[in-house]
Amino acid sequence: MATTKEKVRERVIEMLDDIRPHLENKLDKLLNSDFIDFEKEDDNYYLPKNIMQALAREMEFQYENIHANRADNRKINELYRAIRYGAF
């Protein structure tokens, strides 16, 4: 059965809403640990951007299709390229 643009958007937004508390929890645990020496970090966006990339990897891990085949991975890469480069 086919889906609709509205259903897909709703489900993606739902997953984004679901993952945010998880990512915020991971962020808080990281910031409250002794892993980062804040005295040695410059007050700019370098560290926050690095943390965002790490959180993006966590999100990818949480939603990864462990049964993905080559065709699935190819489709994911195509979707990423469309998002990244605007090939719409």
Domain ranges of the chain: 5-85
Amino acid letter, 45: Y
Cα–Cα distance, 25 to 77 (Å, whole number): 28
Residue-level pLDDT at 87: 67
- To the question of pTM greater than 0.85 for the whole model, the response is yes
Read off the pLDDT of residues 10-49 as tens digits, 9 standing for 90 and up: 999 999 999 999 999 999 999 999 999 999 999 999 999 9
DSSP-derived secondary structure for 20-77: HHHHHHHHHHHHHSSSS-GGGS-SSSHHHHHHHHHHHHHHHHHH--TT--HHHHHHHH
